[in-house]
C-alpha cells in the first residue's frame, strides 16, 4: 500500500463539495479544527454536526481516532477525519475534561491560541511567562490519555517549556520557520531544533500570512524552504499542516482573532486593510493541489522516501505513537 497523504490542519467551511475534493486529491486523512473559542458544550454541538456528515457521506469520509483509521480510509477510498482544538477553551477550567475530550475523539489540543490562556502564553502577548501550574498538569494529563500537545500559536518560552515538560513528542501542526518568513506566528530555529530533537513534528502551513511573499509566494520558494528544514531538522520530523480555510467568510477571521475576549479585532498577522482571508497561492487552492507540493519537493532533490514522509508518512507514524493512552 502506498504511503498515505495527510494534511494535519484544516479549518475549511466543510461541505460535501470539499469532501469530494479530498477524494479527488487522494487525501487520506485530515486533522480538522473542531474548536477555537467554544465552550465544552459548544464544542459538542460541532461534534454533532460532524456525526451527521459521517452519516450522510459515508462514501467520502470516516471518523478517525487511531492510525489504523488512516489505513482503513485508504483501503476504502475515503478520507479519515481527526479532531483537534486550536485553544484549550473546551476544557474550561476542568482538567478532567481532557480525558473526556479524548474519549470524544479529540486527538490534538493547542495550549493557547494567540492570547494568554489558563495553560500557557500565546504568541501575541508582550510577556511570555511560560507554562502555568495548570498548564504543566494538563500536559501531563494529555500525555497520559493520548492527546497531542500542539503549540502552533504559542509564544517562545511556553513552547520550549512544553517540549521539555512533555513526556511524549509534541507537535507544531501549522507554522513555518521564522528564518524563512518573519511572521509573528512562525517559529524560531531554537524552537524547531528543540521540537525535532525531542521527536516532535512540524507541519508546514500554506496560510498566506505565514508565507514569504504572502499569496504571491512561489511553489519553488516554499519547497526550497522545506528542503532546507529537512537539512536542518531531519525530513522524518516534517509534514504538512496547510491551515486551509477554504470557503470561510471573512467574518470567521474575526471570530478566530476576537473570540469573546475583545470588542475590537486583533489584526496581529495583518493590517486592517487585509483583515479578511488573504488569497491563497495559485499552486494551493484546495485539496486537489497536494500533487503540486509533491512535485516541488521532488524538484528540490529530496528522495522519494523523504517526500513520501513529508506528504503524510511521518504524520501517520506520529499518530501511531501518540494517540493511545500510556
Give the pLDDT confidence score for residue 273 in this predicted structure.
46
Give the pLDDT confidence score for residue 257 in this predicted structure.
85
3-state secondary structure of 268: coil
Residue with cell 475549511: 12
Give the pLDDT confidence score for residue 263 in this predicted structure.
86
Residue 270 has pLDDT above 90, yes or no: no
According to DSSP, the β-strands at 61-63 and 29-35 are: unpaired
Confidence label for 255 from pLDDT (cuts 50, 70 and 90): confident
Give the pLDDT confidence score for residue 7 in this predicted structure.
99
- This prediction has a pTM of 0.97
Give the pLDDT confidence score for residue 272 in this predicted structure.
43
User: Looking at residues 57-67, what average pLDDT do you find?
Assistant: 98
In the chain, domain spans: 6-322
User: Looking at residues 229-235, what average pLDDT do you find?
Assistant: 98
Closest by CA position to 84, among listed 64, 61, 56: 64
How is residue 197 written as a grid cell? Answer: 530533537
Residue 121 has pLDDT above 80, yes or no: yes
Closest by CA position to 287, among listed 319, 315, 312, 306: 312
Mean pLDDT of the chain: 96
| 273 secondary structure, DSSP code | G
The helix (H) or strand (E) run that includes residue 231 is: helix 219-233
DSSP one-letter string for 43-89: HHHHHHHHHHHHHH-TTTEEE--SHHHHHHHHHTT-EEEEEEESSSG
Residue 205 has pLDDT above 50, yes or no: yes
pLDDT more than 70, % of the chain? 97
Residue 196 has pLDDT above 70, yes or no: yes
Residue 25 has pLDDT above 70, yes or no: yes
User: Looking at residues 188-208, what average pLDDT do you find?
Assistant: 98
Q: What's the CATH architecture for 6-322?
A: Alpha-Beta Barrel (3.20)
User: Looking at residues 242-269, what average pLDDT do you find?
Assistant: 85
The phi-psi region of residue 163 (left if phi > 0; otherwise alpha if psi is between -120 and 50; otherwise beta) is alpha
Amino acid at each position: 500500500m502506498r504511503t498515505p497523504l495527510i494534511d494535519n490542519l484544516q479549518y475549511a467551511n466543510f461541505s460535501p463539495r470539499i469532501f469530494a475534493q479530498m477524494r479527488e486529491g487522494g487525501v487520506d486523512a485530515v486533522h480538522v479544527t473542531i474548536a477555537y473559542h467554544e465552550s465544552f458544550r459548544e464544542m459538542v454541538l460541532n461534534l454533532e454536526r460532524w456525526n451527521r456528515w459521517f452519516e450522510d457521506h459515508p462514501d467520502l469520509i470516516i471518523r478517525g481516532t487511531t492510525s489504523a483509521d488512516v489505513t482503513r480510509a485508504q483501503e476504502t477510498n475515503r478520507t479519515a477525519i481527526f479532531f483537534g482544538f486550536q485553544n484549550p477553551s473546551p476544557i474550561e477550567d476542568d482538567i478532567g475534561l481532557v480525558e473526556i475530550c479524548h474519549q470524544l475523539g479529540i486527538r490534538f489540543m493547542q495550549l493557547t491560541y494567540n492570547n494568554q490562556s489558563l495553560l500557557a502564553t500565546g504568541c501575541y502577548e508582550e510577556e511570555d511567562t511560560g507554562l502555568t501550574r495548570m498548564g504543566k498538569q494538563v500536559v501531563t494529563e494529555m500525555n497520559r490519555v493520548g492527546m497531542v500537545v500542539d503549540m502552533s500559536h504559542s509564544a517562545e518560552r511556553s513552547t520550549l517549556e512544553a517540549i521539555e515538560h512533555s513526556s511524549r513528542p509534541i507537535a507544531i501542526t501549522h507554522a513555518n520557520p521564522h528564518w524563512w518568513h518573519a511572521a509573528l506566528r512562525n517559529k524560531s530555529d531554537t524552537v524547531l531544533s528543540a521540537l525535532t530533537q525531542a521527536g516532535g513534528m512540524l507541519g508546514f502551513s500554506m496560510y498566506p500570512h505565514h508565507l514569504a511573499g504572502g499569496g504571491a509566494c512561489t511553489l519553488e520558494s516554499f519547497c526550497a524552504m522545506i528542503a532546507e528544514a529537512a537539512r536542518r531538522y531531519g525530513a522524518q520530523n516534517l509534514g504538512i499542516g496547510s491551515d486551509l480555510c477554504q470557503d470561510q467568510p471573512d467574518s470567521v477571521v474575526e471570530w478566530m482573532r476576537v473570540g469573546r475576549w475583545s470588542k475590537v479585532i486583533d489584526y496581529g498577522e495583518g493590517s486592517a486593510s487585509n483583515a479578511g482571508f488573504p488569497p491563497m497561492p495559485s499552486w494551493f487552492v484546495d485539496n486537489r493541489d497536494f500533487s503540486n507540493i509533491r512535485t516541488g519537493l521532488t524538484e528540490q532533490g529530496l528522495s522519494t522516501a523523504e517526500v513520501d514522509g513529508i506528504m503524510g508518512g511521518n504524520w501517520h507514524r506520529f499518530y501511531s505513537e501518540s494517540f493511545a493512552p500510556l
